Copies of this chain bind each other. A is one copy, B any other.
Amino acid sequence: MAVYTEVTAEELDALLERYDIGELTACKGIAEGVENSNFFLGTDRAQFILTLYEKRVSPGDLPFFLGLMEHLAQNGVSCPTPVHDRSGQVLQTVAGRPAAIVTFLSGYALLKPQPAHCFALGSALAALHESGLTFPLRRENALSLAGWEKLFAALGGMAGKLQPGMPESIGAELQTLRREWPQNLPAGVIHADLFPDNVFFLNDKVSGVIDFYFACNDLLAYDLAICLNAWCFEPDRAFNVTKARALLNGYNSVRQLAPEELEALPLLARGSALRFLLTRLYDWFNTPDTAFVKRKDPMEYWRKLKFHQDVRTPGAYGF
């Protein structure tokens, strides 16, 4: 959540003049999206979100992200749709940063999703995967095995400060994952960051999915494994099999998971836990104390990794 860059009224006026979306009536920085600056825009016609892309998003990736949102929206996935200016352009420059105006989605994120929400999330995730199959652009997952190894090397043993033995344990896990990571599962566009704050609900139905700035091409079941970690653990650290089963059932109701995808879930869940453990560790040791963002607890994902390491079959998830 953040607003890193401020936008002057002059810049806003100049921006809005390029569009045919009405007269600006409101602009407020909003606490949404960790990586970018986001503003709620009201005009006399509708509501929008203005996003300024900060340095963690590579400008070269923006055509993929914005194109994907437009493609998904056209294929029935409720997600922010980039708005074209009068000349047809989506990407702008505001306050010296790449920027885009997207549509405003109804609904709001749930801090405490229930099993019914996990079912709805599963269906939405499968629909996103199906719609993504026809998207023509590609983006490698920079945060898969090779990326994890880079992060691990950059950490250079620092993790031991948080928990003795953690570096050795991560090193061994990386070796296992490198050896056993599945190669032939169905792949396509994945969201790759579908945490509860990126899913809006209205009347217990998914009203929208936001924040596609980690989206990439990877194994579809890996996206489900990310959700398993992000949605199915309780604040007391317990794994909630009812939620996991609901998530899987919801997914299967739209796209039936293949037996080999199900079989791979424990390993994919370990990979997903390691991915967030590593990025959180990196941020933990590299975010200046004076920074504007709250650092997320790496230990949460350390414990999730340990949990999945003890899982032998998908049956342990309640499947």
Could you say how many copies of this chain the assembly holds?
Answer: 2
Is A127 in contact with chain B by the CB < 8 A criterion? no
Is A236 in contact with chain B by the CB < 8 A criterion? no
Most buried by B among A7, A47, A107, A108: A108
A residues with CB within 8 A of B: 1, 3, 6-10, 12, 24-32, 40, 42, 47, 104-108, 110-112, 201-202, 289-290, 292, 294
Give Cα A30–Cα B8 distance, bound, in whole angstroms.
17
Q: Is the CB of B294 within 8 A of A8?
A: no
Q: Is the CB of B32 within 8 A of A32?
A: no
Q: Is the CB of A9 within 8 A of B106?
A: no
The 8 Å CB contact of A9, one of B28, B30, B104, B112, is: B112
The 8 Å CB contact of A25, one of B3, B6, B202, is: B202
The 8 Å CB contact of A108, one of B1, B27, B108, B290, is: B27
Give Cα A247–Cα B112 distance, bound, in whole angstroms.
49
**B-side contacts of A47, CB under 8 Å:** 42
**B-side contacts of A104, CB under 8 Å:** 26
- Knowing A3-B31, A202-B25 are in contact, say whether A9-B110 is a contact too (CB < 8 A): yes
Give Cα A133–Cα B107 distance, bound, in whole angstroms.
42
Beyond A1-B3, A25-B107, A28-B40, list 10 extra A-B contacts (CB 8 Å).
Answer: A3-B31, A8-B112, A9-B108, A25-B106, A25-B202, A28-B31, A29-B30, A29-B31, A29-B32, A30-B40
